[in-house]
Chains A and B, each alone.
Chain A
C-alpha cells in the first residue's frame, strides 16, 4: 500500500492560514491504514487546527469528512465541499491531486507520501517498491534493489557497505540481503551483469489503460 505520514503542523498551518472554512478530507484506504489519514486523524487535525485558530483569535473553521478512497471518482462524488473555500487532503499525493482535479477549490496536502510499502508491526512500515514500471524482483530474490538500496544500483553492494549495513546507516544493505537469500535458495545469479534500468518503462506510462493494452512503453 501507499505509506503516508502527517506533515508537521508548522507546515500545514501556513498553507491554510488565509482560508475561512476548510474541509479536511481523510482517506479510508491506504492513508487510514498508515494511521495518518483515517477518521481519527481527521478529527485530531480538525481539533488541532481549530484550537490553533481560536488561540490566535481567528475565526477560521475546520470540519472533517472521510471518503473511502480519494483516488476513485465515484467516492469523490460523495464529497460535499459546498460552503468551503479550501480542502486539506489527508490522502496520498494521488488523492490530493485527484480531489484537486475534481473540485474547483484550492486543495492542500496534509500528508507526505512516503513509499509503497508493507507493515512491519504496529505503526511501522518498510518501503518495498518504487513503482519503477519494470520489475526485477524475480532476479533479486524478491528484494527490490531500486527501493531498498539507497543508490538503487543493480550489480551488488557498493563500497559503502559495512557489516551488512548501508553507508547511510539506516538500513540493511539490500545487496547483502539479496546475496544471502539467493544463496539460501540455491540460486546463483552473481555473475550475470544487471543491465542499466529501463527508465522509459515508467516515463512512458503517464497513465495505464488496460483497454488499450501495452502501448509504446513496451
Chain B
C-alpha cells in the first residue's frame, strides 16, 4: 500500500526522512533506511537540505525505490528554475517516483555555498500549481505532454508559526494549488496542534504531524532558539531536565505524542535526525506495531 493509498484509506500513516550523502557512497543512507523497513509508509528524501550541497534527490529516490522503499521526492525552488523543476519532475515520474513534496527551500546564504545565486523562480505554491499542470497533461505554459504523470503532491505547514495568520493563508493557497497532504514542522503541544487541525480538517487535506525525538533538554532549548516555528513546551523541557535517562524520556514523549495524534490527524512524519535506530522502538511504544507491507 502506497502512502497515498494509506492516507486515502484513512489508515494512520507514518513517514520518516533520509538525507542523501555529500558524495556518491549511499551505503549509510541505505543503512538508516533499513532501520525503518517495514515500519514506515514512505521515506522523504531531502533536497540539498539546509542549502548544503548533496547527492541529488532523484538519484537518492531511485536508490531507495530499487531497494523496495517508497520515496517521497522533495522539490525546492532554491536551485532550479521553472524549466529544471518541470524537467526533473518528469524525469522522476518516468522512474516511477510520483509522491512529491513541494517546498520553497532554505536560502542559499544559510548553507555551504553562500555565494551561490539563489533561484527561487518558483516557490512552494507555484511548484504545486506546476505539478497540477503536469498531472493535467501539460506544462505550465500549456504545452501538451507526451505521457501524463500522476503525482501525489504534498506540502509543508508550520502550525506553530508566529504570526500564524499568514501561515494559514499560505496553507490555504497550497490546498488551492493542489496539495493533497501536508507534513508539519515538528509539533509538541497536542492541544495547540488539535486546535490547528480543527481548522485544517475542513480543507480535506491529509496532515502528518511532524515529530522530532528530543534526546536532551539542551536539544529542546536549541530547537526553540534556532528553528523557526518550533516551540517545545516548558513542561517537556522540565521533564527532560529531571530525567536520569533523557533519551529514554524523549522516546516516551514522542511515543505518547504519536499515540495522541491518532485522534487528531492522519499520520506522523518522524524527523529522526540521526536517531533512525530509535524509530522502531518509538513506534512500538506508540502502539504502531504492525508491519507495513
CB–CB under 8 A between A and B in the complex?
Answer: yes
Q: Does B95 contact A (CB under 8 A)?
A: no
Using CB atoms, name the residue of chain B closest to A183.
B165
Q: 1/0 per position for B104-121, CB-CB distance to A under 8 A? A: 111101100000001011
Give the contact stretch, choosing among B145-153, B155-163, B199-207, B265-273. Answer: B155-163
Q: Is the CB of B185 within 8 A of A159?
A: yes
Q: Is the CB of A191 within 8 A of B176?
A: yes
Q: Does A194 contact B (CB under 8 A)?
A: yes
Partner of B126, one of A155, A157, A168: A155
Across the interface, which residues of B come within 8 angstroms of A194, CB to CB? 125-126
Using CB atoms, name the residue of chain A closest to B123.
A153
Across the interface, which residues of A come within 8 angstroms of B140, CB to CB? 196
Using CB atoms, name the residue of chain B closest to A197.
B121
Across the interface, which residues of A come within 8 angstroms of B170, CB to CB? 155-157
Q: Does B82 contact A (CB under 8 A)?
A: yes
Q: Does A150 contact B (CB under 8 A)?
A: yes
Give the shortest distance, in Å, between A182 (CB) and chain B (any CB): 10
Q: Is the CB of B104 within 8 A of A158?
A: yes
Give the shortest distance, in Å, between A213 (CB) and chain B (any CB): 26
Give complex CA distance A167, B156 in Å. Answer: 16
Q: Is the CB of B106 within 8 A of A193?
A: no
Q: Is the CB of B158 within 8 A of A159?
A: yes
Give complex CA distance A162, B106 in Å. Answer: 13
Across the interface, which residues of A come within 8 angstroms of B169, CB to CB? 156, 179, 190-191
Q: Is the CB of B118 within 8 A of A164?
A: no
Across the interface, which residues of B come within 8 angstroms of A156, CB to CB? 125, 166-167, 169-170, 173
Q: 1/0 per position for A156-182, CB-CB distance to B under 8 A? A: 111111111001100000011001000
Cross-chain pairs A/B with CB under 8 angstroms, 26 sampled:
A150-B118, A151-B104, A154-B126, A155-B124, A155-B170, A156-B125, A157-B161, A157-B166, A159-B156, A159-B158, A159-B185, A161-B229, A162-B162, A162-B228, A164-B163, A167-B110, A179-B163, A190-B166, A190-B172, A190-B173, A191-B173, A191-B176, A193-B173, A193-B177, A196-B121, A196-B122
Give the shortest distance, in Å, between A114 (CB) and chain B (any CB): 16
The 6 nearest A-B residue pairs measured at CB: A156-B170, A190-B169, A153-B123, A162-B228, A155-B125, A179-B166
Using CB atoms, name the residue of chain B closest to A164.
B163
Q: Is the CB of B126 within 8 A of A175?
A: no
Q: Does A199 contact B (CB under 8 A)?
A: yes
Across the interface, which residues of B come within 8 angstroms of A167, CB to CB? 106-107, 110, 228
Across the interface, which residues of B come within 8 angstroms of A195, CB to CB? 126
Using CB atoms, name the residue of chain B closest to A189.
B169
Give complex CA distance A194, B162 in Å. Answer: 22
Q: Is the CB of B122 within 8 A of A160?
A: no
Q: 1/0 per position for A137-156, CB-CB distance to B under 8 A? A: 00000000000001111111
What total of chain B residues lie within 8 Å of the partner, measured CB to CB? Answer: 37
Give the shortest distance, in Å, between A190 (CB) and chain B (any CB): 4
Q: Is the CB of A196 within 8 A of B126?
A: yes
Which of A159, A190, A197: most chain B Cβ within 10 A? A159
Give complex CA distance A155, B167 in Å. Answer: 10
Q: Does B39 contact A (CB under 8 A)?
A: no
Give the shortest distance, in Å, between A197 (CB) and chain B (any CB): 7
Q: When A156-B173, A160-B228, A162-B228 are in contact, do A193 and B162 touch as well, CB less than 8 Å?
A: no
Give complex CA distance A168, B107 in Å. Answer: 8
Q: Does B129 contact A (CB under 8 A)?
A: yes
Q: Is the CB of B166 within 8 A of A196?
A: no
Give the shortest distance, in Å, between A164 (CB) and chain B (any CB): 6
Q: Is the CB of B162 within 8 A of A163?
A: yes
Give the shortest distance, in Å, between A106 (CB) and chain B (any CB): 27
Using CB atoms, name the residue of chain B closest to A192.
B173
Partner of B165, one of A151, A158, A168, A179: A179
Using CB atoms, name the residue of chain B closest to A166.
B107
Q: Would you list which residues of chain B between 158 and 197 have a CB under 8 Å from chain A? A: 158, 161-163, 165-167, 169-170, 172-173, 176-177, 185
Across the interface, which residues of A come within 8 angstroms of B118, CB to CB? 150-151
Across the interface, which residues of B come within 8 angstroms of A157, CB to CB? 161, 166-167, 170
Q: Is the CB of A196 within 8 A of B82?
A: yes
Partner of B107, one of A160, A175, A190: A160
Give complex CA distance A177, B228 in Å. Answer: 17
Q: When A191-B172, A193-B173 are in contact, do A168 and B110 touch as well, CB less than 8 Å?
A: yes
Which of A163, A193, A194: most chain B Cβ within 10 A? A193
Across the interface, which residues of A come within 8 angstroms of B156, CB to CB? 159
Give the shortest distance, in Å, between B168 (CB) and chain A (any CB): 9
